[in-house]
Structure 1
Amino acid sequence: MGLLGIGAFAKAARLSPKALRLYDELGLLTPAHVDPATGYRRYAPGQLEQARLVAWLRRIGMPLARIRTVCALPPDAAAQEVRSFWAQVEADIAGRRDLAAFLVDHLTRKDPAMTSTTGTPATPLGIRYAALSDTGLVRESNQDAAFAGSRVLAVADGFGPSGGPASAAAIDVFKRLQSEPVPAGDLLNSLAEAADRAGAAVRNVAAADPAPGAVGTTLTAMLWTGSQLALVHIGDSRAYLLRDSELFRITHDHTQVQALVDEGRLTQEEAASHPQRALLLRALCGEAGGTGSDGIGSGPGGAGPGLGGRADLRLHDAAAGDRYLLCSDGLSAVVPEDRIVHVLAGAPDPETAVRELVGLAREFGAPDNVSCVVADVG
């Protein structure tokens, strides 16, 4: 079969001629021949497979720049890139689902029929808090940052050559929320804006580094309002809630291994010992849309392809007796969960809890920096 005109090729590939012209301009699908006089494009039949692949990737919403990357990879690597992209999509959908649930709950509470008629104001709640960060027993420097205040709790785990300054810069942005007035109905917007500012602060730090795309940080932070805790999260640091002696993880790891668990390709037990369990899919990174593909990162896994993405946002109703833990993976990836529960359930106050948790990490070898924030609601 000879070369196909753009109309016949578009029909066979189920693409429009306009799409083919765009893909040619972007270098995604270059015609086999272009008439120098008329500019008419002709395609080889063998190009149909790539054209269909581009069409399929567009149908799942993959950006054209990332499609170019996929098309340049061998089949196994291309398949892995598609898995990574779809894991990010599903994580984003989960975040939007949580936000939708919050909005339904928020609007329901504004329904006059649901409003209490007793006129008795709710008892105000307060928090006690403590933070501790430790270099550990293996690393030469501490790239973690932790902060606990009357309104803000935050942990960040930096990576790359300037990981320490990157995590500190992100935390500094959230410290400012201590003194900034935040309307109760605008908590999530305020956190989203703070996360954007933290990302800009990380990029400013990375700009001075010889490898800015290799610099970034995770971030897990909570903003206290007196009855609720608003959560912002990106990366593999974690937030937990201990309520009635039961521990709940309230964040979702943005890692390649967690994506494989979500897809049913790994069990939680296999994920715990996977050699790339720290390979991040999302973080505040040194370049907007940076790839982090050099493999420098937090822990042994580093930064995965396409590193970046938006932070998860959630809102939690607090109850007297709740105990919250925010920690870097220097704790959660090293100390068994039952030991963490034992300390959280038994420590009499947050100061004791953070000291004992860091001590536990050191008992287990502390191969990474370890940071903990504990807050009690009462």
Structure 2
Amino acid sequence: MGLLTIGAFARASRLSAKALRRYDELGLLPPARVDSFTGYRYYDETQLERARLVAWLRRIGMPLARIRDVCDLCASDADAAARDIRAYWAQVEAETSARRDLAAFLVDELAGKDTDTMSPLTTTPPPLGPLGPLGPLGIRYAARTDRGLVRERDQDAAYAASRLLAVADGFGDEGGAASTAAIEALRPLEAMVPGSVRAGDLLNALEDAALRANDAVRGLADSGTTLTAMVWTGSQLALVHIGDTRAYLLRGGEFCQITHDHTVVQSMVDAGSLSPEEAASHPQRAMLLRALDGGDGHARPELRLHEARAGDRYLLCSDGLFAAAPEADVRRTVEAVAEPDDAVRELIALAHGAGGPDNIACVVADVAAL
């Protein structure tokens, strides 16, 4: 096999010479030989397969560090490399879905408005059909945590008030302090007056609060927390979510999870390498991909807005509930028990009946016309 100049190799691989020099500096695609006198780079034709793979992966937006891992996998286990690409793309699609929801909301919010202003969220939304309100809405709520039957300490936190609903699941030696600090970082959002905050400003405030929560746990050694919270605007619920605490919605007889777990196991389910049934008993089911742990790389919360309807019921909970009790039993309780406080107690009893292996945090909130 002959050696190719960097220009010839660039044309054959569909990578620019500039990109090839960059990939050489990163150790991703070093040349086969570098002329010691001129510094010219020469590539072996056998490197074209790796180079073309790099080019394809760059086209789907994969970061260079992950591309290196995939390319290295290809050399030893092509199936594993394929699984990693599937997992990456599943993550992209999940993140794109959240951004799509936000984009759709912003389009609706701006459509028909003056081009130089964005009107604030109002306390009285337009009619939404048979399930929708014809006047202002309010929420009725309850929150509770429980140590469970196995853990020595309760590191979960739950909070419910007229403006803020939140659950957090702490981990590490100071997990209890981490979960409490995360929710406390959101408390200033309760001072926002419904109708006075623009949608974009509210989402920015939620993201800032999540970053403050991440800063708050930075001093807690080897500890962190998940967080799922909703801020009530008077007509909508703004959601911030990171980790594997969950939010569910019961609407019109349909019960569905509205958050996406940031876990290794969920990424495997997304990639098609694991079934939901297998995920429930997988030994890595609690391993998080994202959390508030004081670092910079993992603190990327999801943000979205949910239009509220009279009759909606929201459940926020930690894995001490949904990983222990069957979803059918959780749904049955959420549907059947009328009062939020009674529903929270019954859900915790469900987790106890399943062995109570973990701490349990629950918030139940009902949306009702005033």
TM-score, L = length of structure 1: 0.82
Aligned to 1:38: 38
Map residues 74-113 of structure 1 onto 2, 5 A cutoff.
Answer: 74-75=76-77, 76-107=79-110
Cα deviation, residue 266, structure 1: 4.2
Instruction: Confirm or deny: 8 A CA contact 1:166 1:217 kept in the other structure.
Output: yes
**Does residue 1:166 correspond to 2:178, yes or no?**
yes
Q: What is the distance in 2 between the residues matched to 1:178 and 1:220?
A: 16
| CA distances 1:308-352 after superposition (whole Å, capped 9, x unpaired) | 544141322231x32211101111121112222232233242221
Cα deviation, residue 253, structure 1: 2.4
In structure 1, give the amino acid aligned to 2:15: L
Q: What is the distance in 2 between the residues matched to 1:127 and 1:314?
A: 16
**Does residue 1:193 correspond to 2:205, yes or no?**
yes
Q: What is the distance in 1 between the residues matched to 2:177 and 2:262?
A: 22
In structure 2, give the amino acid aligned to 1:331: L
In structure 1, give the amino acid aligned to 2:91: Q
Cα deviation, residue 104, structure 1: 3.8
Q: What is the distance in 2 between the residues matched to 1:317 and 1:310?
A: 21
Instruction: Confirm or deny: 8 A CA contact 1:173 1:194 kept in the other structure.
Output: no
Q: What is the distance in 2 between the residues matched to 1:93 and 1:264?
A: 18
Q: How many residues in Structure 1 have an aligned counterpart in Structure 2?
A: 350
Aligned to 2:119: none
Cα deviation, residue 172, structure 1: 1.1
In structure 2, give the amino acid aligned to 1:97: R
Cα deviation, residue 106, structure 1: 3.0
Aligned to 1:304: none
Aligned to 1:256: 264
Aligned to 2:120: none
Q: What is the distance in 2 between the residues matched to 1:205 and 1:144?
A: 14
Q: What is the distance in 2 between the residues matched to 1:359 and 1:187?
A: 38
Map residues 1-378 of structure 1 onto 2, 5 A cutoff.
Answer: 1-73=1-73, 74-75=76-77, 76-107=79-110, 123-181=135-193, 183=195, 186-187=198-199, 189-209=201-221, 211=222, 215-289=223-297, 307-319=298-310, 321-378=311-368
Instruction: Confirm or deny: 8 A CA contact 2:183 2:213 kept in the other structure.
Output: no
Cα deviation, residue 65, structure 1: 2.8
Q: What is the distance in 2 between the residues matched to 1:78 and 1:160?
A: 32
Query: Is the partner of 1:282 in helix, strand or coil?
Result: coil
Q: What is the distance in 1 between the residues matched to 2:199 and 2:150?
A: 39
> Which deviates more, 166-175 or 355-364?
166-175
CA 1:135–1:188 in 2, change beyond 3 Å: closer, same or farther?
Answer: farther
Q: What is the distance in 1 between the residues matched to 2:39 and 2:264?
A: 44
Instruction: Confirm or deny: 8 A CA contact 2:87 2:271 kept in the other structure.
Output: no
Instruction: Confirm or deny: 8 A CA contact 2:34 2:42 kept in the other structure.
Output: yes
Q: What is the distance in 1 between the residues matched to 2:70 and 2:300?
A: 18
Instruction: Confirm or deny: 8 A CA contact 1:147 1:373 kept in the other structure.
Output: yes
Instruction: Confirm or deny: 8 A CA contact 1:155 1:221 kept in the other structure.
Output: yes
Instruction: Confirm or deny: 8 A CA contact 1:128 1:350 kept in the other structure.
Output: yes
> Which deviates more, 183-192 or 52-61?
183-192
Q: What is the distance in 2 between the residues matched to 1:175 and 1:185?
A: 16
Aligned to 2:130: none
TM-score, L = length of structure 2: 0.84
Instruction: Confirm or deny: 8 A CA contact 1:330 1:366 kept in the other structure.
Output: yes
* Unmatched tracts of structure 2, length 5 or more: 115-124, 128-132
Query: Is the partner of 2:289 in helix, strand or coil?
Result: strand
Cα deviation, residue 357, structure 1: 1.0
In structure 2, give the amino acid aligned to 1:223: V
In structure 2, give the amino acid aligned to 1:124: P
Q: What is the distance in 2 between the residues matched to 1:318 and 1:83?
A: 36
CA 1:101–1:205 in 2, change beyond 3 Å: closer, same or farther?
Answer: same
Q: CA RMSD in A?
A: 2.8
Kindly, what percent of the aligned residue pairs are identical? 61
Cα deviation, residue 240, structure 1: 1.6
In structure 1, give the amino acid aligned to 2:188: R
Cα deviation, residue 198, structure 1: 2.1
Runs of 4+ displaced beyond 6 Å = none
> Which deviates more, 327-336 or 230-239?
230-239
In structure 1, give the amino acid aligned to 2:349: G
> Which deviates more, 148-157 or 163-172?
163-172
Instruction: Confirm or deny: 8 A CA contact 2:238 2:305 kept in the other structure.
Output: yes
Query: Is the partner of 2:198 in helix, strand or coil?
Result: helix
Cα deviation, residue 127, structure 1: 1.7
Cα deviation, residue 103, structure 1: 2.7
